[in-house]
Amino acid sequence: MRTQRQPALRTTGLRKAFGDHVAVDDVGLTVPAGSFYGLVGPNGAGKTTTLAMAVGLLRPDAGRAEIFGVDVWRSGVEAKSLVGVLPDGNAMPERLTGREVLTYLGLLRGLPPGVVAERAAELLSVLELDSAERALVIEYSTGMRKKIGLAVALLHAPRLLVLDEPFEAVDPVSAATIRTILRRFVTGGGSVIISSHVMALVEQLCDHVAVISGGRVAAAGPLAEVRGGGSLEEAFIELVGARAEVREGLAWLTS
Ligand SMILES: Nc1ncnc2c1ncn2[C@@H]1O[C@H](COP(=O)(O)OP(=O)(O)OP(=O)(O)O)[C@@H](O)[C@H]1O
């Protein structure tokens, strides 16, 4: 089968400019099948833009993205059937309850109604959203929105999960549940890409990592290689560069 030996995701030469500002410049990433891949970088580095182009949500100015060898822009429907995405920000119908969102999007994915109902109930229960049964998504907290977004990403049992900051604003108990779900997904043969600002979490979960800085890949590969002899945080600061003016500025804060 074509997809079996291919990387879960391969991007080559991805580029995106917003006006004069080049947000992503020549980004090439290879995410091996079966890996748990972390994408880290400072605010505004281009992580969200890269992931959005990689999964077919944002058209690149140049470059390609393939999911298990399927071109995201030429064969969008096939590529999207292989991937579950938790995008940045609000990207779902808000005037529906969590269960209605899952039902609606599950049916749109072409899943049989019985399967959608069964999976929706299980996801809502495991992610502890069943108590919000009658609440509209617009009433959800930020963390609850992350969790329903994750449920949507998992619903069609994709082979690759691409999750933009899945742990942001999520309480510790839910975060532990999500970690368990994601680890189990990888153990079962799935592949996961997460972006995160929490280096300790990336070190704990991921076996591969890419550091993005200024829209470019500063380092990428197996976690042990990227962090060298030290911690990922040390490698990150080394690669990205600490800002001298912050160390020296804000003198007026000290009396
Ligand atoms: N729709 C847009 N219009 C204009 N500029 C944008 C747009 N989206 C992103 N940018 C710019 O592109 C750059 C990369 O943004 P992006 O959101 O990809 O960074 P990020 O690494 O995900 O940041 P963060 O860690 O803060 O979420 C930033 O300078 C941002 O201001």
Q: Is the ipTM of this complex over 0.95?
A: yes
For residue 243, the model assigns a pLDDT of: 63
**Given a cut of 90, is residue 78 above it in pLDDT?**
yes
Q: Which residues line ligand 1 (CB under 6 A)?
A: 18, 21, 23, 41, 43-49
Cα 62 to Cα 46: distance, rounded to the nearest angstrom: 15
Q: How far is the centre of ligand 1, averaged over its atoms, from the C-alpha of 27 (Å)?
A: 15
Q: How far is the centre of ligand 1, averaged over its atoms, from the C-alpha of 197 (Å)?
A: 15
Q: How far is the centre of ligand 1, averaged over its atoms, from the C-alpha of 21 (Å)?
A: 10
Q: Using N-to-C axis directions, what is the helix angle for 142-154 and 98-108, rounded to 10°?
A: 30
Q: How far is the centre of ligand 1, averaged over its atoms, from the C-alpha of 206 (Å)?
A: 24
66 contact partners, CB below 8 Å, separation of at least 6: 6, 7, 9, 10, 11, 72, 79
pLDDT band at residue 166 using 50, 70 and 90 as cut-offs = very high
The model's pLDDT over 184-217, given as tens digits with 9 standing for 90+, comes to 999 999 999 999 999 999 999 999 999 999 999 9
Name all domains of the chain by residue range, CATH numbers in brackets.
1-82+159-255 (3.40.50.300), 88-157 (no CATH)
For residue 133, the model assigns a pLDDT of: 78
Residue whose tokens read 């994601």:
182
- What's the rounded mean pLDDT across residues 7-13? 98
In this structure, which residue's CA is closest to atom 4 in ligand 1? Answer: 18
